[in-house]
Amino acid sequence: MIKLLKKIQALIVRWWGDFTLQTRLMAGATLVVSLIMSGLTFWAVNTIQQDARLNDTRFGRDLGLLLAANVAPLVSQENRTELARFSYSFYQSTSSVRYMLYADEEGKIFFGIPFSESAVQNSLTLRRRMQLPEDYTKDTERPLVRQHLTPAGEVTDVFIPLNYEGQYLGVLALGINPNPTVVASSHLTRDVTIAVFVSIWVMVILGAVFNALTITQPIKELLVGVKNIAAGNFKQRINLPLGGELGELIYSFNDMAERLERYEEQNIEELTAEKAKLETLVSTIADGAILLDTELQLVLVNPTARRIFGWEAEAIAGENVLNHFPKPVCMQLTRPLFQAVTGESEGMEFRIFLPDPSPRTIRILLNTVLDQAKENVKGIAITVQDITREVALNEAKAQFISNVSHELRTPLFNIKSFIETLHEYGEDLSFAERKEFLETANHETDRLTRLVNDVLDLSRLESSRQYQFASVNINQLIDQVLRTYQLNAKDKKIQLSQFLENDLPNVHGNYDLLLQVLGNLLGNALKFTEAGGQVTIRAYQLPSAEDSSLGGQVRIELSDTGIGIDTEDQQAIFDRFFRVENRVHTLEGTGLGLSIVKNIIEKHHSQVNLISEVGVGTTFWFDLAVYQPADQPTQAGQKQPALSLAPSSPIVFSTQETSGSI
């Protein structure tokens, strides 16, 4: 049953959906008007009936009082023969009286017209005894009126007390028929209203069916045709034998579709010719060119792109480009390609290294292809350039600048500083101080000679070149760095301090490279620390970890109370040519120092870490493996702990720690 109701509901909804909005509005308006008219008609009928009922009540009361006044003496004399004659004569003289009944003081009926019991019971639904209210006899002047329904219509019952000379004799009951004219008028009004209501809706339904067959159906077919034309199906035609305005509209539609079909054929020929020219042009350019649709399927690939990606022997047209890109390219471009398709980005550039079949570096440019309105993405254009030679030239340039402008300048500056000091203040210095200055200058000269000889080697720190590593004394290394920069610190009024743990073991490394690391870090610290600040070098051995198989480690930290490094710059400061001072001050620099530091520490199988806060200071630290002679077994390894203090926090060492300041 429920399924049947749902089917009927769906059928009605579909049938209602076939009508146009105008038809629906007309049906709704007709329904509202018909309901209003029907309501007014029924209200008028009810009003008429109520007025008729009121008139019947008044007529019955007046007639009953008149009759009671005439028959009361006869009842008092118990002259029932005359009472019957008079009552029958009265009953015959009017059609308004349905029945007449006489009852004594106890309510027992002693006379009635008609008198038969069955007739009385069928018409009045009364017994042989009248059941009246108990207090009815007290108010002998007020007739009792009521109405009841019979198959012949509504009858008004009037009960009049019979009084004669102040004595209560009984009750006269009259039944008054309704006014036949009023009844006929109300019935006629009701029937006419129902007939009008049904007629209106029959006309509405017939009009809706006619509208659906002659107007709605052709309009639907025309709408389907317009949608097909909008979708590019210019072969769409409508064949309906209609005349008038709809016929002219269908004829115009077919003519428009025919013109569009011819225009499309002409445009296809022109586009095919232009496409051939474009493919010829793309195939001759030196860069790789790839064109994708919005589904990332290959539309066009020129020979250069096929050669770069090794697609010469593959039929890849119409396939997803991500299934054919080399793995490094696919990893880099998957997300950007989907972003470009959705319009989240327009132009992007990538540099990707391809190890196979030969090491190469390529530059890939992504650009979205938009429609004429510049709103929707129609495809993606990819330009591929082989920049292997360019990358090699840039690396050579970076290496040259790194060695010439930074690495060679530091020892020359140190030598010049000590010699100028000896030249200007030689007589004021003691013999020990002059000897010490000369030794430092001589040491820096030797270092400069080594740097000149190794300048090309340092520029290839990221290459596979092997450096000679040996035992390095941390105390000597730090002492030399501090002596080198003591004059610079004194001029800037910066305190240099060292905190070295007693009995530090030697580390495994390259002395010159580590000296360069500390020199770069200390030089940067002095450069970015204001007068009155402090620069501190700390060195201590990390706690042993028995479960490690590596040798012990020594941690070297360099802290300053300088300007600090912003969080967003802390990852980029190790890049070549990146200079924080471009943002925070005007001190000049090449931006290569920390990049060299990073490369050297990585050669020592470690990494440089830092913690910094702007306006507080910076701490750099790295770990070096303890030197293990070849004839000794490897000691228990050391596990690197995490740094747990800020640059401005003091470091607490064991009681064997020594400290000093210069």
pLDDT at residue 324 in the model = 85
Which pLDDT belongs to residue 424?
Answer: 85
Domain end marker among 265, 284, 303 = 284
Q: Which two tokens stand for residue 623?
A: 């770990």
State whether 622 and 491 are in the same domain: yes
Q: Is 427 domain-assigned?
A: no
Band the pLDDT of 404: cuts 50, 70, 90: low
In a domain, 262, yes or no: yes
Question: pTM of the predicted model, to two decimals?
Answer: 0.36
- Sorting pLDDT into bands at 50, 70 and 90, what band is 657? very low
Q: Answer positive or negative: Cα dihedral of 18, 24, 26, 30.
A: positive
Looking at residue 620, its pLDDT comes to 95
Same domain, 275 and 289: no
Tally of structural domains, the chain: 4
Q: Is 422 domain-assigned?
A: no
Using only C-alpha atoms, what is the Rg of the chain?
Answer: 58
Domain membership flag for residue 392: no
Query: In which domain, by residue range, is 183 found?
Result: 14-231
Assigned token pair, 284: 């001759």
The model's pLDDT over 514-554, given as tens digits with 9 standing for 90+, comes to 998 999 899 889 988 999 999 999 999 988 754 444 568 99
Q: Same domain for 273 and 327? A: no
- Contact between 384 and 378 under an 8 Å Cβ cutoff? The reply is no
For the chain, give the percent of residues with pLDDT over 70: 76
Confidence of residue 645 (pLDDT cuts 50, 70, 90): very low
**More confident call, 98 vs 399:** 98
- Res 640 pLDDT > 60: no
pLDDT in tens, 271-281: 777 777 777 77
CATH number, position 481 = 3.30.565.10
Do the domain assignments include residue 421? no
- Shared domain for 508 and 588, answered yes or no, is yes
Residue environment code for 256-267, b if the CB has 16+ CB neighbours within 10 A, otherwise e: ebeebbeeeeee
Q: Which residue has the higher pLDDT, 609 or 100?
A: 609
> Which of these ranges, 193-207, 576-590, 595-609, 635-649, has the smallest mean pLDDT?
635-649
Same domain flag for 290 and 185: no
Highest-scoring range by mean pLDDT, 250-254, 418-422, 615-619? 615-619
Residue range 179-200, pLDDT digits in tens? 767 666 666 777 777 777 777 7
The bridge status of strand 495-501 relative to strand 534-541 is parallel
What the block records as the tokens of 102 is 């006489």
CATH number of the domain that 135 lies in?
A: 3.30.450.20
Q: Is residue 413 part of a domain?
A: no
Phi, psi of 407 (to 5 degrees): -65, -40
- Same-domain status, 68 and 47: yes
